[in-house]
Each structure stands twice: as C-alpha cells, then as structure tokens.
Amino acid sequence: MTHSSNDRVQRRRSPRRVLGAVSALAGMSLLLSACAESDSDSTDTGSGLDGEYKIMIIGPYSSGGSELGQPLPQNRDAALGAAKEINDAGGVNGKAIKVEVCDSQGNPNKATECANRAVQEKLAAVVGTFDTVGDYLTPLEQAGIPLIAPEAIQHESESPISFPVTGGQQGITGAYSMLKQQGITDIASVSADIAALNSAVTPDKALGVKTTAVRYDPNTTDFSAVVAKAATHKGIVVSGAANKSIAFINALRSAGYDTPVASDTSMIDPEAIKAMGKNAEGIYLSGSYLPGTYTQNAAVAKYADSVHAIDPDAKLTDGSQNAYLSVKLFANVIKGMSDVTSETVMAKLKSSKSVDAGGLIPAVDFSTPDATATSAYPYMKRAYRFSVVYSRVVDGAVKPLTGKFVNAVTGAEIK
C-alpha cells in the first residue's frame, strides 16, 4: 500500500507514546506495510531529481512487544525525515532517496517477510532495522543485501552482511567504564534472570572491574532482597526492561542507599527518569548518541528538525537517531557511485575507512571492526564503532558530562 505525499497515516501508539497523526510528507511517498502486500507504485522523486534509490527499514512501528519499548514509530519517522532532508537538499547523484517502511509489528515472521520483499525488489540496502530475533537476516545474507546501521540486538553483530554502529553491548559496556572512570571497580550487575541477559558476559579484565551478577525473577514486584544484595557493592549497573529497572532503583533509593547507579540511555530514557522523579537524580548514563534534546550540538539539532518535520510529536531517542543515521550513511556511501546495487554498495562499504556521519557520531570505518570491541566480546565480529557519550541525570534531565565520544571499553576520547 503506497501513500502519496498528501496522505496522512493514523498511528497507533503504545501507552508510552503520544497519540498523533503523521504529518503530510512533501516530495516523497511513504509505504506502510506488514510486508504481506505486494503492490507498490512508483513515487515522486522530488523537484529536479531524476529517479530514486530505494532502500527499506524494518521494525515494529504499529505494534510489538513491550520489553524493549515497542512499538517504535519514531524510528520510522527518523528514517523518513533523513530521506526528506537529503531530497530537499538535492538528493544524491541527482536522484532521490526513497525509504520503504516495512512494519514487522514486532513479529519475527513478518520481519522475515519484509526481508524477502527487499530481496524480491532487489533493493540496494536495508537500513536501521530493529528486531529481537534476527531470523530476517537469512534471506538478506543469501541475496547479499547489505544491512546498514541495524540495531545490533541478536546476530547483527556477527552477520557478514551487517554494518552496525550501535547496539549489542556498547551502551551497557559504557556504563561499566563510566563507573570505572569514577574510581568504582566493585560493581553489581543487576538484571532479570533471563537467558538473553545471562548470556551477556561482562569482560571484567578488559574493563578493569570486578562484576557480580545480581539476578531477579522477571515477574518480581518486591525488590528488597535484590537491593540488599546489590547494595553490598560500590556501584551498580542496571540493565533490562525499563519498568523493572525503575522499580529496582526506586526500591534502592527508598531503602536509603546512595550507591552510584549506571545504565544505558536506551533503557533509562526520559520517560523512565520522569517516572522515578527524585530517585533518578545522579544516575550515570552511557549512550550511543548524544541526548536527542542536546540541540546545542548542530548535528543533533538537524536530526531533531528532520524527525519533527515528519511528526512533531516523535520521540528523540537513541534508536531514532540510529534510524536517521542509517539513511544518511547509505547516502554518503553511494555518493559519486554510477552503479548502485546491493553488490556495489556491499563492496563500497567493505572498503570505506571513513564514512561521514554528519557529526552525529564520529566518522565510521566500515573496513575494519573495532579492536577493543572484538577483544572484549569475541562474538561481536561486526562492531565497527564502539563509542559512547557519558551523561548524568541532573535536575530531571540527561546532561552530557563533556559532550565528547569515548571508547566504550577504555573511556578514551575518540577524536
């Protein structure tokens, strides 16, 4: 189903998201699909542009599981906003970028259907995906379609077609190194007792810390015993579902403990901070990106403007920035290429040593994985960027400590 630039698509939000409608899209069309549909019409490419490069973004945009904040309509908005920004500025190589949005609805089978459609349409790339299972990778691998800046949740960190710049252990590793920078090396690792989190082994040696796993039943509502165990350590890193992290931190502070707490900005987001009130004050946060509200940074301001050109109410999150950047990276990779296919884009990515990220993150070297990441986490064979920004909750808002990107393992500034 294809919507023209004059259409408005009603969006269904989760209770954590603001109800609203999509703004009219100028100069490009929006394709919303669960990927069971097969019809797709040609679209306007924008004034003065001759032809288009079509790419796909896959994720849970209308519905999905709640454990990772799904659905994520802001990711879709960000990808569309990036394309509009590029097209309004003259496109790439005289052509427009068209983002085909495939809504997986949080269903791995639908995500795979989306990937199959990308193969059938012979798309040059798939970008900015979000999927908690990873089965969608198989058809893309078989067809050799590059996956640019997926959120590396499962096998995206090791798939030969994947070129991630965020996800995996990046943010939470930065939480540990952030505490290390404060002189804290005895750290409790607090999370639910589930396989996905238990398998995430912390590289104590690489980080120079000693971590102790403190696990709780995913269905628990009483965190008193968990607090008692975690509080015996000098610092605490919290990971997992936001609602459980909020409950733990509230219980910790209510019990009178002022133990330093660190986490990932994708887990402790502005809504979680608001929900915790005064209990959120002082929490250390490690993020793959600068806070979306940090608009004194020109790149962040540009991102925010582009997203809000699609939906003024769209949330500004790490995942949203990643989706926005995925489109910008594709555009910068193909710049100057006369033949843009999945094969040529794949070859270009593999040889690209410094892909401009527009200042949103440092330039990305896709030719060689980050050595500190692969050393700390051997399974992360495709970690091309392992940098984070250190922030802290001050007066109810996320404030970057320096605004500089640092290596998630060592804490060293990345120039």
Residues 152 and 12 in one domain: yes
201 shares a domain with 159: no
Query: Are 157 and 241 members of one domain?
Result: no
**CATH code assigned at 236:** 3.40.50.2300
Task: Report the mean per-residue pLDDT for the chain.
Answer: 87
Which token pair is 362?
A: 């440092």
* Residue 413 within any structural domain of the chain: no
First to last CA, the chain: 45
Quote the tokens at residue 269.
Answer: 């987001």
Confirm whether 342 is domain-assigned: yes
Whether residue 24 is contained in a domain is answered as yes
256-277 residue pLDDT tens: 999 999 999 988 888 889 999 9
Question: 8-17, 122-131, 244-253, 347-356: which has the minimum mean pLDDT?
Answer: 8-17
Q: Are 134 and 155 in contact (CB under 8 A)?
A: yes
Global pTM value: 0.85
Count: domains in the chain: 2
3-state secondary structure 99-141: EEEEECCCCHHHHHHHHHHHHHCCCCCEECCCCCCCCCHHHHH
Q: Lowest-confidence range among 30-44, 195-209, 234-248? A: 30-44
234 and 272 part of one domain: yes
Q: Could you identify the residue written with the tokens 């003024």?
A: 312
Mean pLDDT of 244-253: 96
Tokens 């100057």 correspond to what residue? Answer: 336
Q: What share of the chain is helix, strand, coil (3-state, %, to 5)?
A: 35, 20, 45
- What is the 8-class DSSP label of residue 412? P
- Are 154 and 99 in a shared domain? yes
415 domain-assigned: no
Residues 144 and 217 in one domain: no
**Is 143 found in the same domain as 52?**
yes
Is the same domain home to 218 and 343?
A: no
Residue 185 maps to a domain: yes
Residue 155 and residue 24 in one domain: yes
Which helix (DSSP H) or strand (DSSP E) does residue 264 occupy? strand 261-264
On the 0-12 / 13-18 / 19+ scale of CB atoms within 10 A, 146 is buried
pLDDT score for 195: 64
Task: Provide the residue range defining the domain that includes 240.
Answer: 170-287+388-407
- What pLDDT sits at residue 197? 54
Residues of the chain with pLDDT > 90, as a percent, come to 75
